[in-house]
A and B are shown apart, each in its own frame.
Chain A
């Protein structure tokens, strides 16, 4: 009888172990898809994609002149850019002396993966990052290659647009290779606005009136997803910009002025008013920000606060971006929220490795690749005078960037604030939406977290 029990138990344990292994394969590191586990399948898929989209043509364009020792590099990038593996495969096929292994992570997964790697001294050769406080951590801890001299030697000031270059300049050093420069505006469904006789708002009163009209008509005015906090934050920072004005908002972002201030409270109160009026979808506080475009595409919501990459994002879903319009958020200052993306390099790279990594990055973020996979890039690339090859395909991009050049930008809040302070703001957003906290309490809590951060 005991033998029977043992047999059944052993079988169960073996099943459990196998299940654990299966589960482990699918759930590594916050939604990551590492090259180790996915490479074989991805390579097959990528080969077919490469041959379909770029094929041998892309491989031939990928070839670079490199006279150093053969090197093997690792690159951590975003899984949300769907052709990354195909691009990397084309690179590897064209450049046998510079082999790169790419690992893909989702938007929040890559932040976690890099932090974990930093603490265990196992950073890759190159990794995707954002500017502001997110990139600053790696500079503060001496983990990134200081590219200041490299940038001087290679005249990056004439190469990159100044906004992008300034946003990757952290702690007095050029901390990465700028790969995109992004500005955020309000996208809307043109047909819905037309149906209800709404013009693109140019003042806050008009914006309020447009939201009220949409709500009365049974359309949820604004789609947003608060799962990680940063999507509703994009609206709140616009409200704060409206009440604080440019100077005060800049001081708040630089932590030079208390967040327990009238402008922040008013901005949060405006957000509270929008929550209470039902201007956001039911359950938005834990909805994924990746899913907001679905509400726009299906027409259940009329507006989404997004960057110029939104054209590419909806195009990927088969929704024609020309069905959308955009307007700068009517915050009174005309400034747009902006942020940069970059590739950071491991400070331990040898000269040959740095040279190879830089060649790889320059090629990846070049017209050669972005014209083959335009929807994989936040176009235009952040080079001076860059244009997009097919403006009809992404009709709002240049207009948004030109508007931001004329009217200025401010740093997006989650890159201006340290992560722990941004998270207090995000929790406060939820608490306001669910009626658990007042704007005054949230403003106080954010300020307390900033004080605590400064005291460390």
Chain B
């Protein structure tokens, strides 16, 4: 009797899942496999595509712009992990303490996140403008003859674009960290106090270990968004000068839509997915283990 009821309930569960599954398969799974299929072809995306096997993937090996884009994307990921994450944690810690105007400052630091990235690009293009930008105007005001042209120089453009992105992107991880900080049990911190731990010890030995879930989530979302960075680069430099800020996503887009090399562009997209899997798969394994661990307890 019980078994029959269980079977019926499972069937119902599957039926309820069906609409979501159909949507998931049609808009997520099918396009991924179709993209993989296209990546083995050449053509403009309209009409017949010619099967070329692994030729698109082989061509990447001798394409200097692809390698430049890959290196820039990896640098961007490293900058995101090493700068965006600690800075947003720092802001979260500061804004987690009670102080006058705390709610205002939380809103203030979160505010850039709600601005469209294209608008952020335009704002920062003006900030960096060598003739009329605020930075050079300030330098002039204080009597300095130094003039910056950061987004026009190949050795500084990537960092300059990254800082524009940092200004815009800090709010979301900050909010997640803030949520994580507020989930730490005050009684545990009190216990650490009684045990004689100082502020730094409490932070590194109690707070951070208790925020493990939050760290994993923030790290993964940041790495994935860094891998896909597109809008800010497009708006601020269009990948220039001379591909010095070209990213995998912008190059993939150019190949697919500007140059009509749909097969090659899609092959780049597949490589991006594979690189992202390096982050996502361990994240999924970690999450699954955590869930199993909780169930066992």
Contact = CB atoms under 8 A, between A and B. Distances in A.
Interface of A: 1-2, 4-5, 8-9, 11-12, 15-16, 18-19, 22-27, 30-31, 108, 111-112, 115-116, 118-119, 121, 137, 141-143, 226-229, 281-288, 294-295, 300, 418-420, 423, 426-428, 430-431, 433-434, 436-437, 456
A227 B241 CA distance: 8
B254 A423 contact: yes
A283 B151 contact: yes
A26 B119 contact: yes
A436 B115 CA distance: 35
B77 to A, nearest CB: 21
Given A1-B185, A434-B153, 19 more contacts: A4-B182, A5-B179, A19-B113, A27-B117, A119-B46, A121-B46, A141-B47, A143-B46, A226-B240, A226-B241, A282-B130, A285-B240, A286-B237, A286-B241, A419-B259, A426-B240, A428-B242, A431-B242, A434-B152
Contacts of B238: 108, 227-228, 286
B46 A118 contact: yes
Interface string B235-255: 011101111100000000110
B184 to A, nearest CB: 8
Nearest to B152: A283
17 contacts: A12-B178, A18-B114, A22-B116, A23-B117, A25-B116, A112-B257, A112-B258, A115-B260, A116-B257, A118-B46, A119-B262, A229-B240, A282-B131, A282-B149, A283-B149, A286-B241, A423-B259
What 3 A-B pairs are tightest by C-beta distance, nearest first?
A26-B116, A5-B183, A430-B241
Contact of B110 (A1, A4, A15, A121): A15
Contacts of B242: 427-428, 430-431, 434, 436-437
A423 B130 CA distance: 24
A23 B169 CA distance: 12
Nearest to B181: A8
Nearest to B231: A27
Given A15-B110, A283-B130, A23 B116 contact: yes
A227 B240 contact: yes
Interface size class of B (residues with CB under 8 A): 35 or more
Q: Which of B45, B185, B259 has the most CB of A within 10 A?
A: B259
Interface in B166-217: 171-172, 175-176, 178-180, 182-183, 185
A285 B152 contact: yes
A283 B240 CA distance: 12
Contacts of B254: 423
B234 interface: yes
B137 interface: no
Interface string B100-138: 000000000010011111110000010011111000000
Nearest to B255: A420
Contacts of B180: 5
A8 B183 contact: yes
A296 to B, nearest CB: 12
Interface of chain A, helix or strand or loop or mixed?
A: helix
Contacts of B11: none
Contact of A23 (B110, B114, B240): B114
B104 to A, nearest CB: 16
A271 to B, nearest CB: 14
B109 to A, nearest CB: 13
A420 B118 contact: no
A12 B183 contact: no
Contacts of B175: 12, 15-16
Contacts of B240: 226-227, 229, 285-286, 426-427, 430
B44 interface: yes
Interface in B60-82: none
A31 B258 contact: no
B297 to A, nearest CB: 13
A442 to B, nearest CB: 10
A8 to B, nearest CB: 4
A227 B114 contact: no
Given A5-B183, A12-B178, A433-B241, A286 B258 contact: no
Interface in B222-239: 231, 234, 236-238
A436 B154 contact: yes
Contacts of B179: 5, 8-9, 11-12
Contacts of B153: 434
A119 B257 contact: yes
Contacts of B140: none
A141 B231 contact: no
A16 B242 CA distance: 35
B152 A286 contact: yes
Nearest to A437: B242
A115 B258 contact: yes
Given A143-B46, A423-B254, A430-B241, A288 B125 contact: yes
A115 B114 contact: no
B123 to A, nearest CB: 12
Contacts of A143: 46
B176 A12 contact: yes
Contact of A16 (B44, B115, B172, B259): B172
